[in-house]
Amino acid sequence: MNVISPQPWMLHPDDETMSRDALAALQLNRLRGTLTRAYENVPHYRRAFDARGVTPADLTDLSDLRHFPFTGKSDLRDNYPYGLFAVPRREVVRVHASSGTTGKPTVVGYTAGDLDCWADLMARSMATAGVRPDDVVHNSYGYGLFTGGLGAHAGAERLGCAVVPMSGGNTERQISLIMDLEATALCATPSYALNMAEVADSMGIDLRRSPLRIGLFGAEPWSEGMRAQLEERLGVRANDVYGLSEIMGPGVAVECPQRCGLHGWEDHFLFEVVDPETLEPLPMGSAGELVITTLTKEALPMIRYRTRDITRLSDEPCACGRTHVRIMRVTGRNDDMLIIRGVNVYPSQIEAVMVGFPGTTPHYQLIVDREGVLDTLSVQVEAAPDLAAEGYSKVAADVRHHIKSMIGVTCGVTVLRPGDVPRSQGKAVRVRDLRRAPDRQGPGSRGAPVSNAP
């Protein structure tokens, strides 16, 4: 285990500033080991490699990874619950699961070594974002099967912080405890953090006057507008943290103070961006789907896992001194994309247009429906508390016009009264897709998607 370095801003300076050549050599070595363990211990990988006519011995260079098969969420489902595990069950000491939108959950597992590594990487991520050992970390990520709560908890403890293990919900109590225990760092989804700011306001508490100074927000897409709102209302510096259960949980990548993308920890993960249609790897800098291969995971090695997250990578040197690749802010998932009358729309684009819009609050929902053969989009946005009822229709028309001119999509806009858009307790539900409502479909079909909120 790494110990805290004398340079307070880097927890693992040797690892975080490794030359790109040294990183590539380490990756090649670790990748060979991972492919071999997967091939030898996981029947699914053996079958998938055989079907592509490759064996671990075919990897002589990192670029050879392109010949190996992808892994998707459906492979986890098809091998539910333990079929992709590469170690005997007695070596697994923890499982987590995500509820997903339909059917069986996705189960992931960890050896004691995996948990140790995760705590290290989450501690490294927190330190990179600016959290320090003397911080009091109020952790509002959900505890339980969701990886957010226990992942952030272990990282904060490993860094040496005092952790308040709150989980989500019971928001008034959370606000009181933030004040009483003098929390200096907040871990939460950005939508829940905004909910907390609102509840604090209603309690007459100004969180900007509290000792809170830093926020570590992730688990869902959020915009620069949302960042501005969170910084203004909570009085924190808001940093982005990324991760996913299939790969580990939170701590796969994090923003450093330069805020020019999230450093993805390449000593433990190999990042590719592929064209979502052709699945061909794209050159550094191109936008596409993020694909991640684990390099050190023992219980659940993942080979070329298709995250569905849309982003691009940058290996330009970062002023912070860290050499690890930067993953640009994830703005959405390719399975989130809506096609409205031929225009591709990501919910995050709507958020980028709307958050901070005069006369509204940053709470919104998108309703997708179908009229005949055409998909329709309507946006429900909430009126600011000081907006008079007579002003609603003008705000609706302005938002509609703005969305049309910025994104090119025509949508209906309804302005709801303050408090009428449901508040997030974890991951926000931004889209209600009525096209898949149960009463619109035949027997055996699935219902409308629900959030995989913790």
Q: Could you list the residues that contact ligand DLL (CB under 6 A)?
A: 98, 141, 147-148, 218-221, 240-245, 249-250, 307, 309, 330, 333, 452
Give the shortest CB-242-to-ligand DLL separation in angstroms.
4
Structure tokens at 115: 């948990």
Closest C-alpha among 213, 259, 216 to residue 236: 213
Q: Please state, in angstroms and rounded to a whole number, the distance separating the CA atoms of residues 12 and 412.
A: 50
Q: Please state, in angstroms and rounded to a whole number, the distance separating the CA atoms of residues 12 and 14.
A: 6
Q: Do residues 178 and 187 touch, judged by C-beta distance below 8 A?
A: no
Give the shortest CB-442-to-ligand DLL separation in angstroms.
30
Q: Please state, in angstroms and rounded to a whole number, the distance separating the CA atoms of residues 185 and 188.
A: 10
Q: Do residues 241 and 217 touch, judged by C-beta distance below 8 A?
A: yes
Which residue lies nearer to ligand DLL by CB, 351 or 387?
A: 351
Which amino acid does the sequence have at 164? Answer: V
Which residue lies nearer to ligand DLL by CB, 267 or 289?
A: 289
DSSP state of 300: S
Give the shortest CB-302-to-ligand DLL separation in angstroms.
12
Q: Do residues 322 and 16 touch, judged by C-beta distance below 8 A?
A: yes
Which residue lies nearer to ligand DLL by CB, 35 or 274?
A: 274
DSSP state of 284: T
DSSP state of 377: E
Which residue lies nearer to ligand DLL by CB, 75 or 399?
A: 75
Which residue lies nearer to ligand DLL by CB, 39 or 348?
A: 348
Give the shortest CB-154-to-ligand DLL separation in angstroms.
12
Give the shortest CB-414-to-ligand DLL separation in angstroms.
26
Give the shortest CB-287-to-ligand DLL separation in angstroms.
14
Give the shortest CB-102-to-ligand DLL separation in angstroms.
15
Q: Please state, in angstroms and rounded to a whole number, the distance separating the CA atoms of residues 69 and 48.
A: 6
What pairing do the DSSP bridges indicate for beta strands 249-255 and 269-274? Answer: unpaired
Instruction: Kindly give the residue spans of alpha helices, DSSP state H, lying in 42-137.
Output: 43-52, 73-78, 112-129
Helix, coil or strand: residue 74: helix
Which residue lies nearer to ligand DLL by CB, 75 or 220?
A: 220
Give the shortest CB-111-to-ligand DLL separation in angstroms.
19
Q: Please state, in angstroms and rounded to a whole number, the distance separating the CA atoms of residues 246 and 308.
A: 12
Give the shortest CB-250-to-ligand DLL separation in angstroms.
4
Q: Please state, in angstroms and rounded to a whole number, the distance separating the CA atoms of residues 5 and 416.
A: 51
Q: Please state, in angstroms and rounded to a whole number, the distance separating the CA atoms of residues 93 and 97.
A: 14
Q: Please state, in angstroms and rounded to a whole number, the distance separating the CA atoms of residues 214 and 233.
A: 12
Q: Please state, in angstroms and rounded to a whole number, the distance separating the CA atoms of residues 175 and 234.
A: 11
Q: What does the chain come to in residues?
A: 454
Cis status, amide bond into 283, omega within 30 of 0: no
Closest-by-Cβ residue to ligand DLL is 218
Give the shortest CB-239-to-ligand DLL separation in angstroms.
10
